[in-house]
Chain A
Amino acid sequence: MNHKPRILVVDDEPQITRVLRTSLSTHGYEVRTAADGISALETFSDWHPDLVVTDLVMPNMDGTELCRRLRAVSQVPVIVLSVKGEEKTKVEALDLGADDFVTKPFGIDELIARIRASLRRAATPVSEVGTTVLEIGDFRVDLESRQVSVRGREIHLTPKEFDLLTYFMKHAGKVITHRTLLGAIWGGDYAEQTEYLRVFIGNLRKKIETDSSGPHYIVTEPWVGYRFNPGN
């Protein structure tokens, strides 16, 4: 990225956009703001930001609809600003393609960390050595021979655990909702069967985590889903 990363901040509260504009600019980003989804889409098509930070509840066009419209035209990382009690809308936005969320009120460092992670992920997607090997952080998966190694040590996974891990690796760092994960691994009919996930994630954790009671790689996002941190 030759230019300063561009961030579009969308919120109908002028005080929030005012603070974020000053703060993110000082942190080395180029910032523009919009007060609703419609003007955000206009700025997006004119200015081509590298990342969008959006509130969920806004007049004219809300954050969920903005996510849907953005995903129709772009893979730009989207971070959703939500408040507790908006879980349903937050999950909906994540299902529609938002990458991450930050709960209001947030410290600026938390938002900056999420922005950095999302930008890094967008810039360097999971490396596919040849076409059959996935490699990211502590994980290496040979898709053809179905060999999996964590921190250089080979582990044995069942077919479903294997599918889960490769899906996580392809979407590392991103918050994946229960529904998305169930749909991707078991198919759309199982989208509500979260107990499947609990069992399989539990088993997968036992095989990949150093301490499965305090997981480091597969982190639970309460009431939303999971986030996969591949490690270094």
Chain B
Amino acid sequence: MTAISFSGRTGYFIAVISMAAATAALALLRLHINPTTVALILLLVVLFLATMWGSGPALLAAVLGVLSFNFFFLPPYHTFTIADPQNWVALAAFLLIAVTAGQLSARAKRRAEEAEAGRVEIDRLYKELRDAFERASHVEALKHSEKLKSALLDAVTHNIRTPLTSIKASVTTLLDDLGQRISLDNESRRDMLDVINEECDRLNRFVEAMIELARIEAGEMRLRRGWSTVDEIVTTALERAQPLTRRHRVEVQIEKDLMIRVDPSAVVEVIYTLLDNATKYSAPGTTILVRAKRHGEGTIQLSVEDEGSGIPRQSRELVFDKFYRANAITDPQSQRPPGIGMGLAIAKGIVEAHGGRIWIEDGSAGNGTRVVCDLPVGDEDETTKKSEPSAKRLGHES
């Protein structure tokens, strides 16, 4: 409030000073300029004050201007008397114009100030709104990441606690037997020990998968690339998966002389995972089709296809997420197949580390699941250099 009244007083003070200065300057030049010019210059001062300081100082300047115009510039000079009636008219016109112009300028100034205040207010609201949006999206992101963390924690908890539960229940039963509180027969003892053995392996598999995934995610996967035949890689994977695929019919279609520069054990792991999933999510007796072919320049396409119930389009990206279990969405009536829900996440990591990509399609008959991965063949020069002896070797073998 003090600032406003000070600024108000300053306006009036400046009005007096300006008018006095203008009058003094004009008085010095009185012999060289006519009264009309004097009136216009004084009017200019009034307009300037109205624009800068508002209507009050402008009004004061107008009154001072009239008095100064009359006293110094209208004959008889240095009196407030006006001899010529025409000068009365001029003086009245000056007063009217000075007051009106002053008020109009002041109003324009007010409007400009109001518009500026409005703009500032809009700016402030815009900033507040933007901050609020930023805060909201930050909170949303936090919530999302919290949800993700808690889902991951649940999955880890489940994968560790479940085998631990079987192990602890078995061990405490065996301890009761040892303490002769119960009497187990040999078959039951063996069964308990088998459970402990199997569940230790399960825990170990989980820990290894976690470490592998952590390595892939940290970009620390070390690929030991070398030239291999695709046939060799697929055969190794099929041999490893043989205990799993025993109840399915496995068909293999591999184009001749396919060479690829990859980390063979990592790609075997990918195909093994795809075979493992195919057996879990399709009925025994159905066919699993493993294919490998050239796909455009410098790419080899591998695919594993089953005749199961398939994966809905909306879940096809999700299945590559850590701990995602397909049946939770595709078939809530089904039993949860054994596994830790990390296989496809690891497979994706391996394929991408090779510069390839992996995705899911419908099976060729319109049903079932087809997991496809494109892998770059490897360095061109080396392909030519290495493929010849390898091709010879293959030819020799066949």
Contacts and interface: CB of A to CB of B under 8 A. Distances in A.
Interface stretch (A14-22, A133-141, A189-197, A203-211): A14-22
A217 B335 CA distance: 43
Given A22-B188, A26-B188, A59-B332, A83 B168 contact: no
B339 interface: no
Contacts of A105: 161, 164-165, 167-169
Contact of A107 (B169, B188, B192, B332): B169
Interface string A16-32: 10111011001100000
Interface stretch (B85-93, B170-178, B285-293, B311-319): B170-178
Given A105-B164, A106-B168, A15 B198 contact: yes
Nearest to B170: A19
Contacts of A22: 173, 184, 188, 191-192
Overall SS of chain A's interface: loop
B146 to A, nearest CB: 14
B195 A19 contact: yes
B189 to A, nearest CB: 9
A66 to B, nearest CB: 16
B184 to A, nearest CB: 5
Contacts of A81: 165
Given A12-B336, A85-B157, A106 B165 contact: yes
B90 to A, nearest CB: 88
Contact of A15 (B166, B172, B177, B335): B166
Nearest to A27: B182
A111 B199 CA distance: 20
Contacts of B154: 85
Given A59-B332, A105-B168, A16 B162 contact: yes
A108 interface: yes
B158 interface: yes
Interface residues of B, number: 33
A19 B163 CA distance: 11
Instruction: Give the residue among B167, B177, B188 with the most A Cβ atoms within 10 A.
Output: B188
A15 to B, nearest CB: 4
B66 to A, nearest CB: 81
B132 to A, nearest CB: 31
Interface string A94-115: 0000000000111111010000
A67 to B, nearest CB: 20
Contacts of B335: 12, 35-36, 59-60
A83 B154 CA distance: 10
Interface of A: 12-13, 15-16, 18-20, 22-23, 26-27, 35-36, 57, 59-60, 81, 83-85, 104-109, 111
Ranked 10 nearest A-B pairs via Cβ? A107-B172, A105-B168, A23-B173, A105-B165, A15-B166, A108-B172, A105-B164, A104-B165, A19-B169, A26-B182
Interface of B: 153-154, 157-158, 161-170, 172-173, 176-177, 182-184, 188, 191-192, 195, 198-199, 327, 332-336
Given A23-B173, A59-B335, 14 more contacts: A15-B195, A16-B166, A19-B173, A23-B170, A26-B188, A27-B176, A27-B182, A60-B332, A60-B335, A81-B165, A104-B161, A104-B162, A106-B169, A108-B176
